[in-house]
């Protein structure tokens, strides 16, 4: 077929294919969710409905993109890890990040009502998305450890901050002042001595964030009995230590 004289503009597009044999992570993050969470009445410090909606949207993404072997989410963010050898969209960076981000965002709105049955989003939520490459298994583990450590630091701070306000009667600026310069042991101590809260007994989903992986699980078949089926399951595991990776060795080895 004859090409138009305009065809040459295609050459202005850059090739953004990700390097072969590297882990591809797409991370999405809510834009201005400090405001979005306030305006939509999210519970403080954690809103289980909102976190569950994030996980529902992330599950939709994993159902669509079979080459995502693990996803990790906390607060207003989710990271999607593609198999090292994935050929999805010929490994084109923008194709991967925009498709993941778009499906995540539309799913977040699509399923909103299942988690917030009495309200509608007051304005369209926005998520940004980026693609980052990690060459070694140690790098990808360190990346996930970084996100889970971030979850721990923020959640311990927020749990203590809101206990001081909601149960201790402090103003936000008094609570901020009290927590200035404190270490994690100090925050654990405040929670325990002032509010009888043992931080380690807080729900694992809030302390650790959510890990999505595919597992073979038994499902019932019509004539009785069960058969195994691959399903996306949510877990709240520690992904910083070795145990999770020893038990899930298959995630880091080429298939
Ligand atoms: P940008 O990402 O830079 O656009 O800013 P942001 O306002 O989204 O902040 P950031 O991504 O750093 O942090 C997420 C923010 O979302 C937190 O600071 C909280 O204000 C809010 N948030 C996330 N999850 C919850 C929740 O379960 N409950 C409440 N109350 N707020 C939450
Ligand atoms: Mg954000």
The residue whose CA has the least distance to atom 17 of ligand 1 is: 34
Structure tokens at 225: 């009995």
pLDDT attached to residue 255: 56
Q: What is the pLDDT of residues 50-105, one digit of tens each?
A: 999 999 999 999 999 999 999 999 999 999 999 999 999 999 999 999 999 999 99
Instruction: Say how far apart CA 143 and CA 77 lie, in whole Å.
Output: 14
How remote is the C-alpha of 211 from its chain's centroid?
A: 8
pLDDT class of 9 with cuts at 50, 70, 90: very high
pLDDT attached to residue 223: 85
Which one of 37, 128, 158 would you pick to mutate in the ligand 1 pocket, going by the greatest count of ligand atoms within 8 A of its CB?
Answer: 37
By C-alpha distance, which of 121, 109, 194, 124 is closest to 159?
194
Binding site membership for GTP: which residues? 29-34, 75-76
Instruction: Say how far apart CA 99 and CA 109 lie, in whole Å.
Output: 16
CA distances (Å), 164 to each of 100, 179, 188, 203, in order? 38, 10, 12, 19
* pLDDT at 170 exceeding the cut of 80: yes
pLDDT attached to residue 185: 96
Q: What is the mean pLDDT of the chain?
A: 96
pTM of the model: 0.96
Assess contact for 237 and 176: CB atoms under 8 A: no
CATH class (in words) of the domain with range 17-251: alpha beta
């Amino acid at each position: 077929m004859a090409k138009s004289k305009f065809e040459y503009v295609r050459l202005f597009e850059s090739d953004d294919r990700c390097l072969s044999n590297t882990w591809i992570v797409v991370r999405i993050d809510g834009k201005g969710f400090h405001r979005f969470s306030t305006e939509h009445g999210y519970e403080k410090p954690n809103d289980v409905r909102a976190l569950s909606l994030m996980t529902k949207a992330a599950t939709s993404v994993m159902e669509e993109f079979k080459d995502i072997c693990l996803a990790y989410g906390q607060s207003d963010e989710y990271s999607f890890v593609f198999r090292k050898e994935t050929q999805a969209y010929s490994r084109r960076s923008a194709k991967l990040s925009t498709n993941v981000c778009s499906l995540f965002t539309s799913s977040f709105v699509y399923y909103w009502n299942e988690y917030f049955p009495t309200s509608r989003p007051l304005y369209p939520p926005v998520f940004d998305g980026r693609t980052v490459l990690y060459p070694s298994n140690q790098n990808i583990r360190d990346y996930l450890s970084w996100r889970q450590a971030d979850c721990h630091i923020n959640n311990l701070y927020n749990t203590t901050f809101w206990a001081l306000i909601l149960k201790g009667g402090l103003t936000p600026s008094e609570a901020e002042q009290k927590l200035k310069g404190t270490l994690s042991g100090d925050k654990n101590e405040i929670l325990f001595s002032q509010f009888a809260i043992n931080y380690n007994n807080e729900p694992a989903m809030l302390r650790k964030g959510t890990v999505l992986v595919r597992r073979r699980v038994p499902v019932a078949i019509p004539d009785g009995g069960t058969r195994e089926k691959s399903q996306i399951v949510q877990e709240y595991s520690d992904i910083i230590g070795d145990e999770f990776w020893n038990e899930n060795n298959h995630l880091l080895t080429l298939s």
